[in-house]
Homo-oligomer: A and B are copies of this chain.
Amino acid sequence: MCEDKKKEIERLLADSLANAAPEDLNVLENLLHGIKLKQNKQSRTYLNGVLNYQGQLTGEKTYEAEITLTPFALNPLNIVHGGITAAFCDTVMGTLVNKILPDNQTCVTSELKLNYLKPAKGSKLICKSELVHRGNNICFVTAQVLTEDHEIAAYAAGSFFIIPKPKHIQK
């Protein structure tokens, strides 16, 4: 079955390459590179791989990440798709909470609010997040999305529900 699937995948790629505009080639390279990052466990999710997401704690309650902007992240107006910004913020804020929680806990998003302040463009997007409050059940986090010129493009705030970590994802 796997061999048939592989053949089908190769056929799909050949098809795409035959009709590919330069933009399509960029996106194809980008997506395949992202899959590889996930396969190598350098990315936690396919989405992170595809966005070339890289992040790190920058303090006790702060975490920062960036993604590479390719045509995959743009909307028909050629600015960053609001949904990509939202997905980026959700990942950043959830990851911050995860890193702060003890090993046997994780979190799920309870609510998320985005304010889009400026059209986002350029080669990358940065997100800086901060844990504002850690309650018994909920962690409340804010984040700023910045362009490569460090101008604020969006503002996010979210509540993350603390839950026991399922065994299959405990290290």
Contact = CB atoms under 8 A, between A and B. Distances in A.
Nearest to A166: B77
A111 B113 contact: yes
A126 interface: no
Contacts of A109: 82, 114, 116
Nearest to A151: B133
A50 B72 CA distance: 10
Nearest to A134: B117
Contact of A111 (B19, B32, B159, B166): B159
Contact of A157 (B17, B81, B94, B113): B113
Interface string A34-47: 01101100001111
B87 A81 contact: yes
A5 interface: yes
A86 B90 contact: yes
Nearest to A84: B87
A33 interface: yes
Given A47-B84, A76-B44, A117-B140, A12 B36 contact: yes
A86 B92 CA distance: 14
A2 B26 CA distance: 10
Interface of A: 2, 5-6, 8-10, 12-13, 15-17, 19-22, 24-25, 27-29, 31-33, 35-36, 38-39, 44-47, 50, 71-77, 79, 81-84, 86-91, 94, 106, 108-119, 132-133, 135, 137-138, 140, 142, 152, 155, 157, 159, 161, 166, 169
